[in-house]
Structure 1
Amino acid sequence: MHVPTTAIDRLPGYVLHMPPDELHSAATVHTLCRLTDRNTAYAKVRQNGDGANAAR
């Protein structure tokens, strides 16, 4: 079994910026897919050196 660990100073960012649980598996999967898509777009923009115009 894996028990994730993190630093206390990272927790507020996680708690404040994670989308709420949708209480249904399909809705939660949809929310996480949207979040993943946004993060992927942001990473591509950052990788191209244009971080000022990152996707939001």
Structure 2
Amino acid sequence: MRYIVTLFWTLILGQVVGYLGSSLMTQPYDFKSSLFVSLFVAVVIILFGTLGTDKKATS
């Protein structure tokens, strides 16, 4: 479930950043490039999250 939430929010925030960035640079907004960059960032975040956590459960 956490992967779905991470993907959802990364895609939403990536589109917002892509739109604002293209607007600030006076370039046309490109949904596809923002989508691919958002997916790449989401995969990197998920990989860091899984590789960075300790496998031993301490309670």
TM-score interval, smaller chain: 0.3 to 0.5
Structure number having the greater helix percentage: 2
Which is higher, the Rg of structure 1 or of structure 2? 2
